[in-house]
Structure 1
Amino acid sequence: MDSRLGFSDSNEISNSSGICCVATNGETHSTHELPAPGVAALSRLSENLGSIFETQEFDFFSDAKMVLEDGREVPVHRCILSARSAFFKNVFSSSAAKERCGKFELKELAKDHGVGFDAVVAVLGYLYSGRVKSLPKGLCVCVDDDCSHFGCRPAVDFMVQVLYASYIFQISELVALYQRHLLDILDRVAPDDILVVLSVANICDKMCERLLVRCIELMVKSDVDVITLDKALPQNIVKRIMDKRLELGLDRPESISFPEKHVKRIHRALDSDDVELVRMLLKEGHTNLDDAHALHYAVAYCDAKTTTELLDLGLADVNHKNSRGYTVLHVAAMRKEPKIIVSLLTKGAQPSDLTLDGRKALQISKRLTKAVDYYKSTDEGSSKDRLCIEILEQAERREPLLGEASLSLAMAGDDLRMKMLYLENRVGLAKLLFPIEAKVVMDIAQVDGTSELPLADLCSSNSTKRSTVDLNEAPFKIKEEHLIRMRALSRTVELGKRFFPRCSEVLNKIMDADDLSQLACMGNDTPEERLVKRRRYTELQEVLSKAFDEDKEEFDRSTMSSSSSSTSIGVARPNGKLAMKN
């Protein structure tokens, strides 16, 4: 791990058994004197036990499994953990553990704060070997190349998770070590990240008293508002902070209480996802959305649907800044929800706006994202983090492209049947190849709430099973719900083109294949025609697979060379097929 974070390759701490535990990348004994026999024996014992945890055969020898929140299982040995921690001794001796045959879930043991895989491995590695090892590269480093990484969010998150896990597992020496590490970097940690440290320090109670006091001191002098404090911390800690601010004259007495009654009612309505009630409260005229910072509140704490509905009222300035100098887009970057970010950008949010300390939304998003997750993303949360960065990069880079989505749509002209067929195929293909990006834009365009036209009606103008709609002969009679769907699909393509141009380019190349539309319709074909189409279908599948491989390779190269380049998400190879109507 980067030594700037307060770690080194060699740390000494004493455990409750009086054993001296040293973390090294290799033996560094002096060549002038040999270690005492007892020290050498303990060192070998540490190495041997540590090798059990690190070996590939670890699972074979284990007799219990720790199930993490993401579903992954970590095999462990009950006798070793019971000997090293009174907590695990009680866990494994309980009747409930015996009924589960040694399998236990971490979330049942650590209920107050999340603990990730890397933090669990760090703590278990210490329990086995007695050594605090240096961290894997990229684990405590954010995506922003201009960051010193001394106290950025990935570093804070890891240390806090290890601290909390050590507290839960009753490893006092490890709690003390990580409390010292956090105290060393706390002055360089962003106020919103200090809230995370403060919350866990409060959980650890007396074991982290120094850390708790220092965090409160920093919060008292910070610009963090009472609403943010109330959402992140227990009431007794909020009261301590606000009382201290009042004592030091840092707040007016009237600002110590929660927001005035009418604003609080608006926030409560948003908590209940009741935008109609918000509209009614605004009619009373006591305040407006901007003065109540209602959009900031919704972006920070409500779901994407509520935020979209509030935006659709058209009563809020999407670039309005709150008392801390944050626009709504800044708050959305901290929330790391791509659907909300895209919704704000489509309503005119400016990605170039700066916070009081000179940060853009893109930089905020980068400093909250672990580099190791950004470059090697597999789980949904990490993919969303990277997607937020790419959306903001694209928003800063250029405006939406003009013109048709592809040659195929342009050639369709005014033929509604062909346009609908094209849009259905394109969006369906996007869902297959780029599911995360497609989900974002489809939700914003509200495609799922529209009525899909049966494929038979689109593919065959002579079908005897056709509905009452004839898109070729009577386009003026098309049902309103189908026009709504066409507009939603068109909006989806437009948003995809704007925020995911590389994905859109790949789709253009596939959709412009001359016979792709014909391949989707096989209802009235002869057996010979079907055979020809199936052969062509197989060829297109091979072309698609090759295009995907090339796109993925280019993405991997570009992300390794520059974290600021605009790339598509590296998703798993599609295992679905293009829709064919038999």
Structure 2
Amino acid sequence: MDSRTTFSDSNDNNSGSSSISFVSNTETLSPEISAPDVTALRRLSENLESIFESRDFDFCSDATIVVDAGREVPVHRCILSARSPFFKTVFSRSAGKDGGTKFELKELTKDFEVGFNSFVTVLAYLYGGKIKPSPKDVCVCVDDNCSHIGCRPAVDFMVEVLYASFTFQISELVALYQRHLLGILNKVAADDILVVLSVAYMCDRACQKLMTKCIEIIVKSDTDIVTLEKTLPHDVVKQIVDSRIELGLDGNGGNIFPDKHVKRIHRALDSDDVELVRMLLKEGHTTLDDAYALHYAVGYCDAKTTTDLLDLGLADVNHKNPRGFTVLHVAAMRKEPKIIVSLLTKGARPSDLTPDGRKALQISKRLTKSMDYLKSTEEGKASPKDRLCIEILEQAERRDPLLGEASVSLAKAGDDLRMRLLYLENRVALAKLLFPMEAQVAMDIAHVDGTTEFPLTINSRNSPAGQRAMNLNEAPFKIEEEHLNRLRALSKTVELGKRFFPRCSEVLNNIMDADDLSELAYLGNDTPEERQQKKRRYTELQETLSKAFDEDKEAFNRSTVSSSCSSTSIGMGRSNNRHVTKK
């Protein structure tokens, strides 16, 4: 009598979760024998699952997989080797070698980034033979009107699990998630299907059905050739283009290759050479709008390149490409706060709609995981970029706040340019300490780095080496052109902060407009003795702020570098956070 067991999978469309469990082959097993066998298999599954889930078994783990900074997952090499040929090979090669018990996930998956939750889902299956319900905060976007079936967070989670399953050679899990993705493709946006297609291509023959279906959808979509070439391998692009020509769909705009002049402009933008773009425009063969150069820069180039291109003043910031997307729509897909702010300050309209009725805000919301948006942000820590983009677009859709004077203390400073500059230097320095991401966005748009930072105190340690000593507290004080340039840049920084980051600005107002600071900033008709006393107090406050900024500067720089790297795979631990190890 055959007592072998098989895997079966089920998909609960109402809950959005799926499970795989051990079941017996009831056609070959009699009821008397099958019931105990099923019970035993279920108990085995539960026991192995408890090893992975419970902290009681931490002592017997013999390896660690580092997912990202601060999060490590303890594993048991014998269990993973028995369940996955991939892990068997990896662990056997490292046996007996120094440092062979710690592995980097990015080194294991190599070609595609797998997030924490996706990786843990695969491991849980390897241990217990079951798939946990998909974590809601990871698979749900911020848009309340979304069904969350085919939004980007849900797609990202499934393709990450699919790729990890393929890499770790878990064929039944690959088949399951391929079926899941095939079932929701009709609810996935074309740009997100490109992500699915890319992963299906990497999985090769294991996901041939998924790849074929994705290509079929993209062929009939309005996805332009530049997007295809930037996203997909050359042979897949050729297959899509050939299919469009065969079906007579090459006249819909999606198959039109840029002419040689447009390509030269795009190549110049790829090299961040805006001056070359200006020279190419003088040839008169095309314009920035005809080349959709601003769309291209926003989609694929450095943020500074985009702002430099905007500063030429030669492009319509609300121009639509053949797909009906404005530059702001493309920026919302890119999820780069600096670019979004740059466009809004140049007059981009947040109310413009895509052909399917979406505004830039809705695009941004549907790309953002709920967990990233709801993640609390401590003062002095960089805000999640996805959340920042949404907040900027939400603020832009509201009526513009009154700009001009930053707060009470700046207004009190009146025409005293020295006091205004002192106030702005302190305010922006404080913003960098408390809200580093928001401050950096505003400062970059205002080109603060192109101005000279003046010492706020006689013994300031922030002055660049060799800088001419021009203490703002010394008398007599004479306004120079460099002072005015600095004042204009800092004023614009504060105005941008008030416009796009009102929450942060309110905190700064409460600090800077405290009675003692306001009085110190306003000299009025004070006697020489009162002025001297206020000057000493102001200097003390400046030195305190300067010291705090120096101590935090290194951490701030790390935050800025980290925030510039796009990451779509930030995960959260399971409910008991059992596998998160703080370094």
Q: How big is the shift at 1:378? A: 6.2
Query: Could you say which residue in structure 2 is the equivalent of 1:125?
Result: 124
Q: How big is the shift at 1:336? A: 0.4
Query: Could you say which residue in structure 2 is the equivalent of 1:513?
Result: 514
Q: SS of 2:257's equivalent?
A: coil
Q: Is 1:174 the counterpart of 2:173 in the alignment?
A: yes
Distance change in 2, residues 1:303/1:83 (3 Å): same
Query: Could you say which residue in structure 2 is the equivalent of 1:496?
Result: 497
State percent identity of aligned pairs.
71
Query: Could you say which residue in structure 1 is the equivalent of 2:370?
Result: 371
Q: Is 1:215 the counterpart of 2:214 in the alignment?
A: yes
Aligned amino acid, residue 456 of structure 1: T
Q: Retained in 1: the 8 A contact 2:94–2:100?
A: no
Looking at structure 2, the residues matched to 36 and 2 of structure 1 have their Cα atoms a distance apart, in angstroms, of 24
Distance change in 2, residues 1:4/1:497 (3 Å): farther
Query: Could you say which residue in structure 2 is the equivalent of 1:138?
Result: 137
Query: Could you say which residue in structure 2 is the equivalent of 1:116?
Result: 115
Q: SS of 1:94's equivalent?
A: helix
Query: Could you say which residue in structure 1 is the equivalent of 2:573?
Result: none
Looking at structure 2, the residues matched to 381 and 238 of structure 1 have their Cα atoms a distance apart, in angstroms, of 38
Looking at structure 2, the residues matched to 468 and 150 of structure 1 have their Cα atoms a distance apart, in angstroms, of 60
Q: Retained in 2: the 8 A contact 1:319–1:350?
A: yes
Alignment map for 1:416-431 (pairs within 5 Å): 416-431=417-432
Q: Deviations over 1:195-231 (max 9, x none)?
A: 0000000000110000000000000000000000000
Looking at structure 2, the residues matched to 442 and 370 of structure 1 have their Cα atoms a distance apart, in angstroms, of 27
Aligned amino acid, residue 346 of structure 1: T
Looking at structure 1, the residues matched to 487 and 57 of structure 2 have their Cα atoms a distance apart, in angstroms, of 55
Aligned amino acid, residue 324 of structure 2: G
Looking at structure 1, the residues matched to 260 and 211 of structure 2 have their Cα atoms a distance apart, in angstroms, of 31
Q: Retained in 2: the 8 A contact 1:394–1:499?
A: yes
Query: Could you say which residue in structure 2 is the equivalent of 1:355?
Result: 354
Q: SS of 1:74's equivalent?
A: strand
Alignment map for 1:248-267 (pairs within 5 Å): 248-252=247-251, 256=255, 258-267=257-266
**Which 5+ residue runs of structure 1 have no aligned equivalent?**
21-31, 460-464, 542-582
Looking at structure 2, the residues matched to 219 and 71 of structure 1 have their Cα atoms a distance apart, in angstroms, of 39
Looking at structure 1, the residues matched to 219 and 336 of structure 2 have their Cα atoms a distance apart, in angstroms, of 29
Query: Could you say which residue in structure 1 is the equivalent of 2:189?
Result: 190
Alignment map for 1:7-406 (pairs within 5 Å): 7-8=16-17, 10-12=19-21, 36-70=35-69, 72-95=71-94, 98-252=97-251, 256=255, 258-376=257-375, 383-406=384-407
Q: Deviations over 1:288-344 (max 9, x none)?
A: 000000000000000110000000000000000000000000000000000100000
Looking at structure 2, the residues matched to 44 and 13 of structure 1 have their Cα atoms a distance apart, in angstroms, of 10
Q: Retained in 2: the 8 A contact 1:13–1:173?
A: no
Aligned amino acid, residue 150 of structure 1: I
Aligned amino acid, residue 268 of structure 1: R
Q: Deviations over 1:37-71 (max 9, x none)?
A: 11111111111111111113454332111112445
Distance change in 2, residues 1:223/1:33 (3 Å): farther
Distance change in 2, residues 1:58/1:221 (3 Å): farther
Question: Please, what TM-score do these two structures have when normalized by structure 2?
Answer: 0.81
Looking at structure 2, the residues matched to 177 and 2 of structure 1 have their Cα atoms a distance apart, in angstroms, of 9
Q: How big is the shift at 1:11? A: 4.0
Query: Could you say which residue in structure 1 is the equivalent of 2:485?
Result: 484
Aligned amino acid, residue 406 of structure 1: S
Q: SS of 1:138's equivalent?
A: helix
Q: Retained in 2: the 8 A contact 1:13–1:177?
A: no
Aligned amino acid, residue 451 of structure 1: T
**Which 5+ residue runs of structure 2 have no aligned equivalent?**
1-9, 461-466, 522-530, 549-583
Of 371-380 and 264-273, deviating more is 371-380
Distance change in 2, residues 1:381/1:42 (3 Å): farther
Q: SS of 1:40's equivalent?
A: helix
Distance change in 2, residues 1:104/1:282 (3 Å): same
Query: Could you say which residue in structure 2 is the equivalent of 1:442?
Result: 443
Aligned amino acid, residue 109 of structure 1: L
Q: Retained in 1: the 8 A contact 2:64–2:103?
A: yes
Q: Deviations over 1:117-159 (max 9, x none)?
A: 0000000000010101112232211100011111110000000
Aligned amino acid, residue 144 of structure 1: D
Q: Deviations over 1:389-448 (max 9, x none)?
A: 000000001113144211100010111121111101111111122121111111111222
Distance change in 2, residues 1:453/1:237 (3 Å): same
Query: Could you say which residue in structure 1 is the equivalent of 2:528?
Result: none
Distance change in 2, residues 1:130/1:283 (3 Å): same
Looking at structure 1, the residues matched to 133 and 256 of structure 2 have their Cα atoms a distance apart, in angstroms, of 45
Q: Deviations over 1:149-202 (max 9, x none)?
A: 111100000000000000000000000000000000001100000000000000
Aligned amino acid, residue 457 of structure 2: A
Of 35-44 and 110-119, deviating more is 35-44
Please provide the CA RMSD for this pair.
3.2
Distance change in 2, residues 1:210/1:9 (3 Å): closer
Looking at structure 1, the residues matched to 95 and 340 of structure 2 have their Cα atoms a distance apart, in angstroms, of 45
Distance change in 2, residues 1:201/1:303 (3 Å): same
